[in-house]
Structure 1
Amino acid sequence: MTARPRAVVIGAGISGLATAALLAREGYDTDVVEQQGHVGGRAATWEHDGFTFDLGPSWYLMPEVFDHFFRLCGTSSDAELDLVRLDPAYRVFFAGERSDGPPPVQDREGVTSVDVRTGRAHEAFEALEPGSRSRLEEYLASSREAYELALRHFLYSTFARPTTLLRRELLRHAPRLGRLLTTSLERFVADRFTDPRARQVLGYPAVFLGTSPERAPSLYHLMSHADLTEGVLYPRGGFGAVIDAVLRCATRAGVRVRTSARVTAVRTTELEGARGRGPRHRVVGVELAGGEVIEADLVVGAGDLHHLETALLPPHLATYPERWWRRRDPGPGAVLVHLGVRGRVPELTHHSMFFTRDWRANFDAVLGAHPQVPDPASFYVCAPSRTDDGLAPAEHENLFVLVPVPADEALGRGGLDGGGDPAVERVADAAIATLASWAGVPDLAERVVVRRTVGPTDFAHDLSSWRGGALGPAHTLRQSAFLRGRNVSARVDGLLYAGGSTLPGIGLPMCLISAELVVKRLRGETSGAPLPEPAGVGHEVPA
């Protein structure tokens, strides 16, 4: 009997676990090796004193991508997750702008807030900019068209063949795509809305893409379809429940997962008679700290691409050497603050955004030529215990605060109870004070019973993240679609990539798609469509 081909996946984040699950279903004998003592990567969880905190992703968008992945694994989202639709989808607090509009805008000492509801976003926009309903409807129709086009032609494509971009539908849309790619999201929104707060709501999705509205192509207005039209869901139990579900898919398929197993090198052998620009070596396995070697016919790097290419391969075998990264934009870093709060905080919804008045200055501080911590800073707060009581003790709240900062390891580490490096703790203190003031919770700091911070150095150390970035390479024009790092090595046969550093990009849905793109590479599948789903699956959970 012929032995099954062996695969090793580096990294047990969502992309690594998903890739392993699909490879096992393709017939590979698959191991996942993870340097940390737990699975999840950026989507891991932390439990302390009865609180459960998600350490990273907190928005469940693009549910059809999750649905498709689970069906590929012979199950379904309904079988694996308990999903709740959020209403409102989120609340936004604005500084320094007053409105004469009708509710739902609230006004507190120069701070206004508005609730954004799925399918009823026009109510919020009418409050911010009276008379804007028809323009919003046109904007959302455009975002839906761009979203569907991306799903059909870009997100599920490996761009292995140049002819991928010559399909009839794409050629028909070429003039419009050209305009969307060469116009910034900031300009695209400003041409349609005048109120700065309405512009902020529509421009903020650029942050999910690791960039700013000024730097993101307006094609990414498709993100507004995801949150304003499709809606925002939440998996009960937090995003650890999503990781657990993907892990189940992997282990059911026979995948072995090893934690506290740090890869120090990708092992290769030189191909006999290799010439030209094709692969000159092929993988034979990975080496772990301590010297153990796991042999493999296929290696998938599902962690940080910069780390794999510059630390795990010799320079002459790197497809993306250090000089390539010097010309790239790492996107923002982040200071994360996990707060366990005594008493309830009804002033917050599940998702809340806090936007400063000088929007451009905020982004320039984080992403500009002379990066610095913005002061004041815009930030995001997730209060999942508003939806899920199981994440905090009775009559307590679980708050997750994310403050974008430059991707700069020099800002330092976080810590428990204010024990992080001074620059990180100052960012946390400022965000807590602003949250308390703007939301009208003056005693918030006094009610904090658990406090933990995470800084850029933690991202670099724990996740091997390039420059301590929080998300991955920014989705600027030259770092999107076929201009982003490809998912296969040009130098080493049998070495592929998955995760937010490569195609199609940042975010949990994109990471699931990246796992599927590995399979498409192996099959030689060059279409832009998702893989066909097995017939008759998606309703029963395999034993």
Structure 2
Amino acid sequence: MTAEPRVIVVGAGVAGLATGCYAQMSGLSTSIFEKHVLPGGCCTAWSRKGYIFDYCIEWLIGTAEGNDAHQIWRELGALDGKSIRNFEMFNRVVDEHGRAVTFYTDPDRLEQHLLELSPADAASIRSFCNDLRRFVRLDLYPFLKPAPLQSVREKLGLLRAVLPALRLFWRNAATPMNRFSAQLHDPLLRRAFPNIFFQDPQDFPLMPYLFNLAAAHNRNAGFPQGGSLGLARSIEERYTALGGQIHYRSAVQRILVSQGRATGVELRDGTRHHAEHVVSACDGRTTLGRLLEGRFSSPRTDRLYQDLLHRPGTLYPGVVSAFVGVKGDVSADSAHSTTYLLSAGDAARLPGALQKSLVVQLRSRYSDGFAPPGRSVIHCTYFSDYSFWKSLRTTDRAAYRARKREVAAFVREFLDRRHPGLGERIDLVDVASPVTTERYTGNFHGSILAWKGFDEAEDVTGRMVNRDRMRLPGLSGFSMAGQWVAGGGLIRAASSGRFAAQYLCAELGVPFRAWESTGTRPWTPDRLGRLPQLERWYERERNQS
């Protein structure tokens, strides 16, 4: 073992970058190998004709000071020099007839609005808003240290914070949203409540809705300037400033193993790089099946990848994204985020749609720099069936492209219907399917957030973190990080990198160290760097026509 143990990290997503940052701060020499040309994984963006299509962040937990999540982002330099955009509403839901409900983040304003819409549902509305007020007063973001490494004092401190709210947690974790909404009298509220998170994640209890609404009210779920790729670029800058090295266009083909120990990686071009420890921060199925050639597993990974992975409803669905470039702006009174509940006829026109809804977000209101001067970007999304798109792209590429054109045509017509005259000002429409996500990130079935929370998979991943310490039996010198190990969401991905570094430091007898970045250089859009264009056939077809 050298004075500075060499660590190789596979994947430059948020988890991989975080692992590298914390390992570097703790005195470990690291290198990250990434197959793409950009950092961030799913936390990314691409461009066309001067528009920036921001793909990932809808809200970011940890944008307010004074909690563990914010501390992690500060340690990673993710928010250096950036302003934060906060909204008074979380989402608006509009039905086929134009009737709307707005989910304000302020409990008092939300209660008044909901009571005006449906006095008959007063008891349920007041119960929901009273619980929201209690969540607003809570401050529980335990993302700094895994349970096995916590001291007795730290565990007692967490217990003291949790105990007074234990009944609140239990009641809202045990009440499914679909059961709560089904007993509402008003038909719009009955359909709208499950769409607070833009699209209905299905099978979620009330607790995450209350937690995130409360975080938004406390300005702790804002949108950072620079968006998704901006977040990744800031962490990349922090990592390289700490002495880390990133190798782009360097796809790892397999993890080298000798005598039960990971010794490095072999790239797709055949070159080999050696290290004392390897951390895989990429898709879990790829890690176990291809990189480790199926040679290592555990009872928990077997449960996840041989059973739960193939069980319907265990993963977040993939999404179809349609980015729309618009000349000028959308009407000022439009919400920044709206879920439109679709008629059966409209829903049937969306290829591969899993729900009868379309989310429309005015992304230019989230951050400056997403569109050329005098123009705007709208992002339209819907949950979609990965198998539908995969089959098309595999067997009939022309049909695959035709379905994408159908999405673009529907979005153009729908937006013009909702905002008369907007269709004439549409500059371009860029469509990405779940297969697009899979191709560029490697995420299984194009699932951006991996395992759904509040399910058996969350229990299994929790044991992987706290009992297996993110390791595999029979394989030393190796650990896993990221959403496929620690659950979905950017703060969990970043936290998993911190955990991986802490476990590694404990194993090596090296003190774990972390400190906040002191970067103050103002963020500007040019720091995103050169962005790729996806699916260039759009331009080829346009030129040919």
**TM-score of the superposed pair, with normalisation by structure 2:** 0.77
2:471 corresponds to which residue?
Answer: 489
Comparing 451-460 with 474-483, greater Cα deviation is found at: 474-483
- In the alignment, is the contact (CA less than 8 A) between 2:95 and 2:188 conserved in 1? no
Root mean square deviation of aligned Cα: 3.7
Question: Which residue, 415, 427, 430 being the options, matches 2:410?
Answer: 430
Report the Cα distance in structure 2 between the residues aligned to 1:341 and 1:411, rounded to whole angstroms: 32
Question: Residues 471 and 432 from structure 1, CA distance in 2 versus in 1: closer, same or farther, beyond 3 angstroms?
Answer: farther
Q: Tell me the CA shift for residue 524 of structure 1.
A: 4.7
Q: Counterpart amino acid of 2:17?
A: L
Local SS of the residue matching 1:315: coil
Report the Cα distance in structure 2 between the residues aligned to 1:91 and 1:501, rounded to whole angstroms: 28
Comparing 493-502 with 290-299, greater Cα deviation is found at: 493-502
Comparing 340-349 with 199-208, greater Cα deviation is found at: 199-208
Local SS of the residue matching 1:24: helix
Report the Cα distance in structure 2 between the residues aligned to 1:124 and 1:253, rounded to whole angstroms: 49
Question: Which residue, 385, 388, 395 being the options, matches 2:374?
Answer: 395
Ranges in structure 1 where 5+ consecutive residues have no aligned partner? 97-109, 271-280, 366-371, 526-530
Residue 492 of structure 2 corresponds to residue 510 of structure 1? yes
- In the alignment, is the contact (CA less than 8 A) between 2:91 and 2:198 conserved in 1? no
Local SS of the residue matching 1:111: coil
- In the alignment, is the contact (CA less than 8 A) between 2:262 and 2:478 conserved in 1? yes
Report the Cα distance in structure 2 between the residues aligned to 1:286 and 1:118, rounded to whole angstroms: 47
Question: Residues 6 and 396 from structure 1, CA distance in 2 versus in 1: closer, same or farther, beyond 3 angstroms?
Answer: same
Report the Cα distance in structure 2 between the residues aligned to 1:450 and 1:62, rounded to whole angstroms: 34
1:354 corresponds to which residue?
Answer: 339
Larger % of helix: which?
A: 2
Q: Counterpart amino acid of 1:423?
A: R
2:286 corresponds to which residue?
Answer: 307
1:69 corresponds to which residue?
Answer: 72
1:338 corresponds to which residue?
Answer: 323
Cα deviation, 1:346-370, whole Å, max 9, x if unaligned, reads 26756312242689xx9xx9xxxxx
Cα deviation, 1:173-202, whole Å, max 9, x if unaligned, reads 6666555444323224556x5434445554
Report the Cα distance in structure 2 between the residues aligned to 1:117 and 1:469, rounded to whole angstroms: 28
1:217 corresponds to which residue?
Answer: 205
Q: Tell me the CA shift for residue 232 of structure 1.
A: 4.5
Local SS of the residue matching 1:501: helix
Question: Which residue, 455, 479, 489 being the options, matches 2:457?
Answer: 479
Cα deviation, 1:161-180, whole Å, max 9, x if unaligned, reads 99999985567866665554
2:297 corresponds to which residue?
Answer: 318
Report the Cα distance in structure 1 between the residues aligned to 2:287 and 2:341, rounded to whole angstroms: 37
Local SS of the residue matching 1:480: helix
Report the Cα distance in structure 2 between the residues aligned to 1:117 and 1:19, rounded to whole angstroms: 36
Report the Cα distance in structure 2 between the residues aligned to 1:350 and 1:255, rounded to whole angstroms: 42
Cα deviation, 1:127-170, whole Å, max 9, x if unaligned, reads 4334576434313034447x645x24xx5564659999998556
Report the Cα distance in structure 2 between the residues aligned to 1:478 and 1:358, rounded to whole angstroms: 34
Report the Cα distance in structure 1 between the residues aligned to 2:187 and 2:518, rounded to whole angstroms: 46
2:84 corresponds to which residue?
Answer: 83
Report the Cα distance in structure 2 between the residues aligned to 1:171 and 1:83, rounded to whole angstroms: 32
Q: Tell me the CA shift for residue 257 of structure 1.
A: 0.9
2:524 corresponds to which residue?
Answer: none
Q: Tell me the CA shift for residue 32 of structure 1.
A: 1.1
Report the Cα distance in structure 1 between the residues aligned to 2:319 and 2:463, rounded to whole angstroms: 23
Note the 1:246-265 alignment, pairs <5 A. 246-265=235-254
- In the alignment, is the contact (CA less than 8 A) between 1:263 and 1:287 conserved in 2? yes
Note the 1:25-40 alignment, pairs <5 A. 25-40=25-40
Report the Cα distance in structure 2 between the residues aligned to 1:467 and 1:68, rounded to whole angstroms: 32
Q: Tell me the CA shift for residue 334 of structure 1.
A: 0.8
Report the Cα distance in structure 2 between the residues aligned to 1:174 and 1:83, rounded to whole angstroms: 32
Cα deviation, 1:249-272, whole Å, max 9, x if unaligned, reads 1111111111111011011122xx
Question: Residues 71 and 331 from structure 1, CA distance in 2 versus in 1: closer, same or farther, beyond 3 angstroms?
Answer: closer
Question: Residues 266 and 375 from structure 1, CA distance in 2 versus in 1: closer, same or farther, beyond 3 angstroms?
Answer: closer
Local SS of the residue matching 1:21: helix
Ranges in structure 2 where 5+ consecutive residues have no aligned partner? 522-545
1:100 corresponds to which residue?
Answer: none
Report the Cα distance in structure 1 between the residues aligned to 2:17 and 2:163, rounded to whole angstroms: 36
Report the Cα distance in structure 1 between the residues aligned to 2:2 and 2:320, rounded to whole angstroms: 51
- In the alignment, is the contact (CA less than 8 A) between 2:336 and 2:365 conserved in 1? no
- In the alignment, is the contact (CA less than 8 A) between 1:81 and 1:245 conserved in 2? no
Report the Cα distance in structure 2 between the residues aligned to 1:223 and 1:337, rounded to whole angstroms: 25
Cα deviation, 1:460-501, whole Å, max 9, x if unaligned, reads 221111123232122242122555572413232232222222
- In the alignment, is the contact (CA less than 8 A) between 2:105 and 2:214 conserved in 1? no
Report the identity percentage: 21
1:277 corresponds to which residue?
Answer: none
Report the Cα distance in structure 2 between the residues aligned to 1:168 and 1:232, rounded to whole angstroms: 24
